Amino acid sequence: MSTSTQAVEGARSGPFAHFGRDFTASIVVFLVAMPLCMGIAIASGVPPEKGLVTGIIGGIIVGLFAGSPLQVSGPAAGLAVIVFEFVRENGIEALGPVLLVAGVLQLVAGWLKLGGLFRAISPAVVHGMLAGIGALIVIGQFHILFDAKPMSSGLENIAAMPARVLGLDFSSAAATEIALGLGVLTIAVMLGWEKLRPKSMALVPGALLGVVAATAMAWGFSLEVARIEVPASIAAAFAIPLSAEWFAPLAQPGLLVAALAIAFIASAETLLSAAAVDRMHDGVRTKYDKELSAQGIGNMLCGLVGALPMTGVIVRSSANVQAGAKTRLSAILHGCWILAFIALLPWLLREVPMAALGGVLVVTGWRLVSLKHVTHLFKNHGYLPAAIWAVTFVLVVSTDLLTGVLVGLALSLVELLPHLKDIRLKVHEHDEEQGRRVALHGAATFVGLTKLNAVLERQPHGEPVHLDLDSVKAMDHTTAETLSEWIARRRQGGHSDRVTGSDAILRPLATH
């Protein structure tokens, strides 16, 4: 190979090798992220600039260190509920130190290579949690649509909903009725655009158009509705504490438990999102421990400046992949665009009605309440995973997020009871004349999933693999979902792999 050819190939693999695609993708992600960053901050009970700061750190800082180059990090709906409850009970000043500790926990977990453990969490628990969070966001933002504040719990929000509707009086439209109209306009534009948009404009986000439409209406007619509040200078939002008093909340054991809960949920959501992003493209695979450490760095910085916690976010990440991003430069640039926008055009953000952001989050939350997950679990894995999903969902809505998740995880242990004598999963790798063979022996449960994932991910590309499940005595739904996704990903990559085993074992794997 000539020196000039090597130089060209080296240039193509550099950070600016795909600058054109990464640049355009970063604009798309920026447009998707702006309304969501502000909306999630408001749903979390904190000022909107806190969400924007998290988006900036998630883009610029986490983008530099991420183990999943195409994943985009920022404030996530999945943590809005727990932050809202935390701020209501402890005050916004306690959020920073707790988030700093959560970031340290994530960083240490990455160094200890614990990323694989989070991927072994039951999908029934994860999707039940997300559905519960989605329901809480919908019933909480329902009140924002009426220019009112959400109540302190999901059940109180539900109980207050009829009074909101019955209190409307469209014969003399006041702030409440006008705000509701702007929120409904935002929702209608979002949903209508996503159904009717031409293919040439498929990357233009409906959420942005919905907010623009509501803002133009409020500004054009000088409507008297609540608008978002943004500080005159964004520099104030990046102030780093210098006093020892700032760390005082950490003396309370209950707040350390909150830090652990934030670290756990943020890590689980991030790594599940990263796995989903890997299924969308054929580029560099995620390094889960590195991604976990990068999230820890990001959350430590968010804690120091008092911003919102962050996770890897599937909505922004999928927009990034669909827009043609090839490297981490896209995520980094999207953070730069957010910073430039709020530094140069803060007056424009102050014209956005609160009800418009409420409308965006009603749609976002509704999409998290996806019944297709529980029907999929019931159809392919039986009543127990579906019951775990349902119990997690109900408890998240009726009690709190941590209770729902812990009970769901405890129920997932029930799947292990019939297989305790075969609980140790053995995984053997063999070279064969026509590729590789990976043989499993024992009960394939989430207990052995970290080891199994490590073996599966080091299987060579371009070489057929025989996945031998003949000696597998039982398989839980967590392992079945993982194997199904691995098989589907290999087939999409053009591999002619072979899977053998009993009908009872193979039936749940034929679902992707």
> Cα(first)–Cα(last) distance of the chain, in Å?
42
User: What one-character-per-residue DSSP string does 222-241 give?
Assistant: T----B----S-GGGGGPPP
Domains of the chain in start order, with CATH, are 18-355 (no CATH), 370-415 (no CATH), 423-509 (3.30.750.24)
Element (H, E) at 474: strand 465-475
- Phi, psi at residue 472, to the nearest 5°? -85, 120
CB atoms within 10 A of CB 308: 28
Contact between 78 and 130 under an 8 Å Cβ cutoff? The reply is: yes
Asked whether the beta carbons of 241 and 96 are under 8 A apart, the reply is yes
Q: Closest Cα partner for 154 from 163, 168, 143?
A: 143
The residue assigned the tokens 């400046």 is 305
What string of DSSP letters covers 430-455? EEETTEEEEEEEEEE-GGGHHHHHHH
- Residue 15: its pLDDT value, please? 65
Q: Which residue has the tokens 């008093």?
A: 245
DSSP tag of 326 = -
What residue type is assigned to position 429 of the chain? E
Other residues' Cβ atoms within 10 Å of the Cβ of residue 94:
20
List the beta bridge partners of residue 426.
Answer: 441
Give the separation between CA 157 and CA 452, rounded to whole angstroms.
43
Angle at CA of residue 273, ends 13 and 12, nearest 5°: 5
Residue with tokens 């976010």: 313
Over the range 127-136, which residues count as b (16 or more CB within 10 Å of their CB) and which as e? bbbbbbbbbb
Please classify residue 259 by burial: count the beta carbons closer than 10 Å to its beta carbon, then call 0-12 exposed, 13-18 middle and 19+ buried: buried
User: Which of 304, 300, 242, 249 minimizes the C-alpha distance to 94?
Assistant: 249
Instruction: Give me the pLDDT at residue 12, please.
Output: 52
> What is the separation of C-alpha 428 from the centre of its chain, rounded to a whole number of angstroms?
34
Tokens of 275: 């796995």
Separation CA 415–CA 508 (nearest Å): 15
Q: Are 26 and 267 in contact (CB under 8 A)?
A: no
142-155 burial, b at 16+ Cβ within 10 Å, e below that, comes to: bbbbbbbebbebbe
As given in the structure block, the two tokens for residue 417 are 């009871």
User: What CA–CA distances, in Å, run from 106 to 110, 268, 298, 433?
Assistant: 6, 11, 10, 43
403 vs 410: CA distance, rounded Å:
11
Where do the DSSP E strands lie in 63-193? Answer: 73-74
Show pLDDT as tens, one digit a residue, over the chain (512 residues).
444 433 333 445 566 778 889 999 999 999 999 999 999 999 999 999 999 999 999 999 999 999 999 999 999 888 998 899 899 999 999 999 999 999 999 999 999 999 988 888 899 998 898 899 899 999 999 999 998 888 877 888 899 999 999 888 877 667 889 999 999 999 999 999 999 999 888 888 999 999 999 999 999 999 999 998 887 777 777 878 778 889 988 889 889 999 999 999 999 889 888 888 887 887 888 999 999 999 999 999 999 999 999 999 988 998 999 889 999 999 999 999 999 998 888 899 999 999 999 999 999 899 889 899 899 999 999 999 999 999 999 999 998 888 899 999 999 999 898 888 888 899 999 888 788 999 999 999 999 999 999 999 888 888 899 999 999 999 999 999 999 989 988 888 788 899 999 998 999 887 65
Cα separation of 30 and 411, whole Å? 40
Q: CB atoms < 10 A from the CB of 197, how many?
A: 14
Q: How far apart are CA 151 and CA 155, in angstroms?
A: 9
Which amino acid is present at 280? M
Helices (H), 233-353: 253-278, 288-304, 314-322, 329-344, 346-349
Distance CA(237)–CA(87), nearest Å, equals 17
The answer to whether 77 touches 42, Cβ cutoff 8 Å, is: no
